[in-house]
Amino acid sequence: MTSTLWGATCIRRLLLTFIITLICLYTLNAQATHQPGKSITLKATDVSLYTVFKAIRKQTNIQVAFNSTIIDDREKVSVNFKNTSVEEVMAFLLQGKNLNWVLDKDRIVITRREEATKKNITPEKSTGDTSLFYPVFNGRVTDAAGTPIGRATVQVKGTLQGTTTDNEGKFSLEDVKHGAVLLFSSVGYETRELKVTGKSGQVYLMLDIQNLEETVVKGYYNTTKRENTGNVSTVKAEEIRKQPVSDPLAALIGRVPGLQVTQLSGAPGRAFNVQIRGRNSIGNGSSPLFIVDGVPFFNNTTTSRSTSTIDNSNVTRGAGLETSPLNSINPNDIESIEILKDADATAIYGSRGANGVILITTKKGQAGKTKVSANVYHGMGRVTRKIPLLNTQDYLMIRREGYKNDGVTNYPSRAYDINGKWDTSRYTDWQKIFIGGTSHTTDAQTSISGGTANTQFLLGLGYHRENTIFPGDYSSWRGSAHYNVNHQSHNGKFGLNFSGMYSYSKSELPLQDFVSLIQLAPNAPKLYNEDGSLNWESSTWINPMSLTYQKNTSKIKYLNANLGLNYKIVPGLQLKATIGYSTTNVNQLETTASKSFDPSMPSGQSFSVFGTNDISIWNFEPQVQYKNTWGIVEIDWLLGTSFMQQLQQGKTFKGTGYTSDDLLNNFQSASVISALGDSYSKYKYNAIFSRLNFNIDRKYFINLTTRRDGSSRFGPGRQFASFGALGAAWIFSDNDYFREHFNFLSFGKLRGSYGITGNDQIGDYQFLDTYQPYSSDFTYLGTVGLQPTRLLNTEYAWEVNKKLEGAIELGFLRNRILLDISYYRNRSSNQLLVQPLASQAGFGAVVKNLNAVVQNTGWEIQVNSTNIRRNNFSWESSFNVSIPKNELIEYPGLESSPDAFSYVVGQPLNIRQVLKYTGIDTQSGLYQFFDQDKDGNIAFPNDYQTIIFTGQQYFGGLRNDFRFHGFELSFFFQFVRQKKVPNYANLFSRPGTIGNKPTYILDRWTQPADNADVQKIGNDFQAVMAFSNFLQSDGVYSDGSLIRLKTISCSYTLNFKNNFAVNSIRVYANAQNILTFTGYKGLDPESKTLLPPLRVISAGIQVDL
C-alpha cells in the first residue's frame, strides 16, 4: 500500500476513536447520577439465606461473606422487605444467632460472637450528625477466626493520622470525625476500610492467601484472579526471596506452568533459556517480551537459529557464556513477576506478544509507620555431581592398548603422555582442580518505606557478590538502588507514581568454561613451577592455568525509570500516561597477558579488547480509561497508544603491541589499535490499542483487546498490522443450581480466549541492501573496504500467531483447594524464515515469509491447596505440571531446503535426525549403525533417518510451605521429563586419543566375540569414522529426566513487643539445587557440557525496625 493510503487509514482510525470517545463521554454524563441504593426490597417465602444474600448483592452491591462453618446459607427464611436498610435486613436474618456482622464498604462479614468482643459488636447507629467528633475511637482488629492481629496499620483515610494495633489487636485513635473512613492493613491480609459511625468498632481482616480477589497485573490494566478472562501466572516476592539467586529468572524455574526456564551454566550471571509455551518460530526469536515496570526490556532479537537465550549485554562472548541481562535486576526489588500466556493476556502487546510476555513489577511503599528493614545472607556453592574418570593406571593402559591395536610400537612424538615426555606416575584429579572449588555469595539488602495515605515511598539498596568455583580470582558483584514514590492528590483526582532502579554490576569471569578442562590426561604435567610461574613442560601442552591470565571484566550499568500519571476527569473516566526510560551501558575489557602464552612460541602476543554497548529505550503511552455500570452490566474500556524507540550502539576495539602486561588496561600503551566492530540499530514502534471489558452480574465476562502495530523492522508498506483477541469467562458457581447440587464446589469458572498476536523478532534493517566496512584491521591501501551485507528485500512481513485457549478454574472446600486446568493451541504461520537462497545469488539466505505452520498445544495444570490452616500452624501446597507438544504442521518446500535435515513435518521442531546405533560389531569391534539405504555405506543424509526428540515431554514443580508459630519451612521440587539429551560423549575426545575419559570406556571391545559397550580402542581410519558416526547417532543421547529438590527454605521469625526498637527478627537458611535425581550421563542435563547449576546453601538474618 502506498504511504498516502496509510496516512488516510491512520486519520480515519483516529477520527473513529475520537467519535467513540465523545459518545462515551455523553453516556458517562447520563449515567453519572445513578447510584445503587443501600436498601432492599424483597418478598419471598421459604427461600434460602443464600437467595437473600444474593438479593442484597444485586440491589446494593454489598457482598455477604461468612465462613460456612458458622452459618448454613441453605437455611430457609421468609422475608418481606420494602426499602429496608441493610442493617435492618441483617439484624432480621441473624436474629437469635450467636453471630456478629460488620459492614465495611461493600462487604458484610459475618462472624461468631466471641466473649472478648461482645461489647462492641455491631457498628453503632449513626446519629446523623456528620460534624460529630469522637474524642477517642477504640477498636480491635482480628482475623476471621477472632484471633487478634498485632501491628496492623490503622489510618484515617485522607489524613496523616494513624496508629498500629497492639498484641491484642487493639488500637485507639483520638478525635475521629464521624463518617471518617479508617484503613486497616497488615502483611498477609487484605486491606480493609471501615466507616466510623460510632466510638468503637471491630474489623476482621481476611487472609489474602488463595484469594480470588487478588490483583492480577495484565500490563495496561489489572483484574482479579476471579474475573480474569486470560491466562496469567504470578510469582510473588515471597517465593523469590526464599531462593538464594542473583537472577530473577532463576527464581522462576519449575514454578510456572507453561514457562520453561533452563539454566545454561552454573557460573554467576550467565544466561538462561526462557520459553513460554514452546517454540513458535522456526527461524526467529522465540523469547518472550520482558517489561519492567512498563518499560520494555532490551531483548536482543537476532536472526540466528539458536534458542531464545536472552542475550544482549554481552559484547564478544560465545555460546553458553552470555551474560543474562536480567542479572542487572535485583530480585529483592521485585514485588511480582507475571507471566502472560494466552491470546487474551498477550494480544494487547500485539506484534510482540507471540512468545508470551513477562511483566516484572517492583515493590512499592505502603502507608503507615516508616519501616526499615535490613537483610543479609551468606551462601556457599559447590558442584554436586562429578563424572567418574579413569585413574592414571587405567588411562595409560587404554592409551597403550590403542597403539597396540593399531600396530604402532613407536609412540609418536606427540603422545607425550605415554612416550616418556610426561611422568607416567603422576595423577591429578582435574575435576577437583577445575570444578571442585567452593563459591561464596554475599547478599545484603536494606530498605526504608512508609508514607501517608496520600504519599508513599520506598527506597531499597542492595548488594550482591558472588565468586566462582573455578580456580583463579573470579567474581561478580552488583550494587543496586530502587525507589518508588506514589502520590494521590487530596481530592483523589490526580495520581502519580514514580519509580526507578539503578544497578551497577561488575563481573570478572573467565573467558572459557573450565568444565572442558576435566578431560586433561590424568598424568598431565603440574600446573606451576617451584617459582610460581606456569609450567609449560617444554612446550608439550597448553597450560590450562594460562586462562587465568586472560581476564574479562565487564561493567554493566542499568537504569530504569518510569513515571505514571493519572487524572480522573469525572468519576469513571480517567486519563493515564506512562513515560519510561531505560538504559543499559556495558563496558567490557578483555585482556590477554603475554604470560598466558608459552614463551617459546613466537605468535604469543598480549592484547586487549575493549568493548562498549549502549542500549537505550524510551516509551510513552497515553491512555484513557472509562468505567461504568448500568445495573448489573459493567464496562471497563481502555484506549491507548504506545510510542517506543530503542537505540543500540556498540563499539569494539583491539589493542596490540603492549610493552608490558601491566599496561593492558591502558589503551594508550597499545602500539596498534584496531576497530573490531561497530554496531548500531534503531528500532521504532508505534501502536494504538484498546481493551473493552464487559461483564454481566460479575458472572459473565467478555474481554476484547485489539491493537494496531507498526514496527520499523519491516520495509515500506509492510510496517503495520492488526492484532486482537477475545476472551470470555463464565463463573458458573454463582448459580443456584450449582450452589445446591455441587456444594463442595466453592468456585467454578470456565474461560476461553482466541486471538492473534505477532512476532517481529528479526533484527533491524533486514530490508535494506546495506554495505558495511570490511575490517579496520585489514585495510587495503589504507582504506577500509565496504562490503555488501544484505540483499535488497522489502517483501517480508509479520509472523502471525493464532492462540486458542480453554480453561476451567475450580475451587473446592471454600477455596482451600484451587484447581486450574488449561488447554492451549497456538499456531504460528506466515513464518519469517531466513530462507536458504542458492549461494549463486550472492548470499546463502534471505528473509522470507513462508507458509510454514508451527503448532504448540499443551495442557497446564495448577493446584494450590491450603491443607491445614490453624492459628499457629499452616501447611500449603502448590503443584503444577505442563505437558507441551510442539509440531511442525506445514513447511512447503521443506524437502528442497537444507532444513530438510533439521525438521520433519509432523514432528516437533526440537528434533535431530541421526544415525541409528545398532551396537558393536563383535568381529571388528567397531560401532555399527543401521544402513537405511542398504548401500553398504553409512553416510549423510540417507542413513540419518532416526528422529530424536530432544525437548521436554512434561515439566513442573511441587511446593510445600509449612508455618508453625514463627517457624516457616518450604521446599520445592522441580521435575522435568526429557528422554533424549546429548550426554557426556560430546565432552570427551575419541577413546584412544590423548585426554582422560569416563570410566565406562573400560568396558571396551578387546577381542572377537566380546560383548562390550565401547568400541575397540584405536586410531585407524575405520575406528575414527565409526566414532565420528557414533557422535552423530542416537547412541550419544541419554535420558535427561530429572527431579530436583530445587529449594529448601526455613526461617524463624521473632516478633517483639510493642515499643521495642526492633519489630521483628527473621533468621533463615535457604538452599538451592540440593538434590538431583537423574539418570543422565554427564554433569547435569540442563547445562550439559557447561558448569552445572551449583548447590548453594545460604544463611541469613533479616531485621525489621
Nearer to another protein, 444 or 837 (CB): 837
CA neighbours closer than 13 Å in the CB half-sphere of residue 71: 24
Determine whether 420 is exposed, middle or buried from the number of CB atoms within 10 Å of its CB (0-12, 13-18, 19+): exposed
DSSP-assigned beta bridge partners for residue 296: 291
Q: Assess 29 for contact with another protein (CB under 8 A).
A: yes
Residue 839 as a binder of another protein (CB under 8 A): the answer is yes
**Which residues, 180 to 219, sit near another protein by CB under 8 A?**
none
CA dist 593 and 353 (Å) reads 46
CB atoms within 10 A of CB 778: 9
* HSE-up (13 A, CA, CB side) for residue 329: 31
Q: Residue type for 586, please?
A: V
Based on CB atoms, which residue is closest to another protein, 91 or 1025?
1025
CA distances from 1072 to 214, 251, 380, 962 (A): 29, 10, 10, 18
318 forms part of the interface with another protein (CB under 8 A): no
Given the C-alpha cell 537476532, which residue does it identify?
302
Residues 939-958 that bind another protein (CB under 8 A): 939-941
Three cell numbers, residue 896: 528442497
What would the x/- binding string for another protein be over residues 449 to 478, using CB under 8 A?
------------------------------
Q: Which single residue is written with the C-alpha cell 617451584?
A: 530
DSSP 981-1017: EE-GGGGS--TTSSS--BGGGGSB--STT---SBPPP
Per-residue binding string, another protein, 795-834, x by CB under 8 A, is ----------------------------------------
- Our CA dihedral for 762, 763, 766, 768, rounded to 10 degrees, sits at 160
* β-bridge mates for residue 284, sequence order: none
7 or 1008: CB nearest another protein: 7
Contact between 14 and another protein by CB under 8 A: the answer reads: yes
Site string for another protein, 601-620 (x = CB under 8 A): xxx-x--------------x
C-alpha to C-alpha distances, 1031 to 547, 600, 986, nearest whole angstrom: 28, 36, 7
Interface positions, 551-580, toward another protein (CB under 8 A) = 569-570, 573, 575
Instruction: In whole angstroms, give the CA distance from residue 332 to residue 1102.
Output: 13
Between 831 and 1072, CB nearer to another protein: 831
Q: How far is the CB of 640 from another protein (least distance, A)?
A: 9
Contact between 21 and another protein by CB under 8 A: the answer reads yes
Distances (CA, A) of 1029 to 357, 383, 465, 939, 993: 41, 32, 45, 9, 17
| Contact call for residue 682 and another protein (CB under 8 A) | yes
646 belongs to the binding site for another protein (CB under 8 A): no
Residue 385 or 414: which CB sits closer to another protein?
414
Contact by Cβ (8 Å): 831, 281: yes
Q: Quick one: which of 210, 265, 499, 712 contacts another protein (CB under 8 A)?
A: 712
Provide CB contacts within 8 A for 193, sequence distance 6+: 104, 105, 157, 181, 182, 183, 184
Comparing CA positions, the residue from 639, 806, 580, 698 lying closest to residue 223 is: 698
Residues between 395 and 454 with contacts to another protein, criterion CB under 8 A: 412-414
With binding defined as CB under 8 A, does residue 16 bind another protein? Answer: no
Residue with cell 569416563: 998
The nearer residue to another protein, 182 or 938, going by C-beta atoms, is 938
Cell 487524572: give the residue.
567
Among 138, 442, 641, 918, binds another protein (CB under 8 A): 641
Q: Is 25 in the site for another protein (CB under 8 A)?
A: yes
Q: Does 495 bind another protein (CB under 8 A)?
A: no
Please tell me whether residue 779 binds another protein under the rule CB under 8 A.
yes
The alpha carbon of residue 611 and the mean position of all alpha carbons in its chain are separated, in whole angstroms, by: 28
Stretch that binds another protein, among 40-48, 278-286, 438-446, 675-683 (CB under 8 A): 675-683
Q: How far is CA 72 from the centre of its chain?
A: 43
Cell numbers 533439521: residue: 902
C-alpha cell at 181: 473512613
Smallest gap from Cβ 601 to another protein, in A, equals 7
Alpha carbon of 510 to those of 233, 374, 548, 574, 592: distances in Å? Answer: 36, 33, 7, 53, 11
Cβ atoms of 415 and 994 closer than 8 Å: yes
CB of 29 to another protein, least distance (A): 6
Residue 788 binds to another protein (criterion: CB under 8 A): yes
Q: Which of 27, 512, 674, 918 binds another protein (CB under 8 A)?
A: 674
Tell me: does residue 774 bind another protein (CB under 8 A). Answer: yes
Which CB sits closer to another protein, 632 or 841? 841
Nearer of residues 981 and 994 to another protein, judged by Cβ: 994
Find the binder of another protein among 61, 200, 897, 946 (CB under 8 A). Answer: 897
Q: Are 614 and 17 in contact (CB under 8 A)?
A: no
Kindly indicate which of the ranges 134-142, 392-400, 676-684, 745-753 contains the residues binding another protein, using the contact rule CB under 8 A: 676-684
Tell me which residue has cell 559484547: 315
Choices 486-494, 843-851, 923-931, 1062-1070 (CB under 8 A): range interacting with another protein: 843-851
Residues 1031-1050 that bind another protein (CB under 8 A): none
DSSP 8-state secondary structure symbol assigned to residue 811: E
Please count the CA atoms within 13 angstroms of the CA of 618 that sit on its side-chain side: 3
Distance, CA of 1093 to CA of 159 (rounded, Å): 51
Find the binding residues for another protein in span 518-557 (CB under 8 A).
539
426 or 568: whose CB is closer to another protein? Answer: 568
* Region of residue 511 (left: phi > 0; alpha: psi -120 to 50; beta: else): alpha
Binds another protein (CB under 8 A): choice among 838, 934, 1009, 1011 = 838
In the chain, what is the greatest distance between 2 CA atoms, to the nearest angstrom? Answer: 112
* Least separation in angstroms between CB 730 and another protein: 34
Q: Does 986 bind another protein (CB under 8 A)?
A: no
Q: Which of 37, 179, 492, 844 binds another protein (CB under 8 A)?
A: 844
The answer to whether 957 and 926 have CB atoms below 8 angstroms apart is: no
Applying CB under 8 A, does 681 fall inside the site for another protein?
yes
The span of 36-44, 127-135, 776-784, 1090-1098 binding another protein (CB under 8 A) equals: 776-784
Q: By C-beta, is 220 or 732 nearer to another protein?
A: 220
Closest distance between another protein and the C-beta of residue 491, in Å?
13
Show Cβ contacts of residue 924 under 8 Å, excluding neighbours closer than 6 positions.
1016, 1022
Please say which residue, 123 or 724, places its beta carbon nearer to another protein.
724
> Does residue 768 bind another protein (CB under 8 A)?
yes
Give the CA-trace dihedral at 340, 344, 348, 350, to 10 degrees.
Answer: 90
Span interacting with another protein, options 188-196, 262-270, 468-476, 710-718, rule CB under 8 A = 710-718
CA distance 588 to 825: 43
Q: Contact between 711 and another protein (CB under 8 A)? A: yes
- Using the rule CB under 8 A, is 837 a contact of another protein? yes
Other C-beta atoms lying within 10 Å of the C-beta of residue 947? 15
What is the total count of residues that contact another protein (CB under 8 A)?
95
- Find the shortest distance in angstroms from Cβ 777 to another protein: 6
Taking CB under 8 A as the binding criterion, the range among 308-316, 439-447, 764-772, 1050-1058 that sits at the site for another protein is 764-772
| Least distance CB 721 / another protein (angstroms) | 11
Q: Is 688 in the site for another protein (CB under 8 A)?
A: yes
Binding mask 719-758 for another protein (x = CB under 8 A): xx--------------------------------------
**Is there a contact between 1086 and 510 (Cβ–Cβ < 8 Å)?**
no
Query: Which set of grid coordinates corresponds to residue 1057?
Result: 513487643
Q: Which of residues 992-1021 bind another protein (CB under 8 A)?
A: 1021
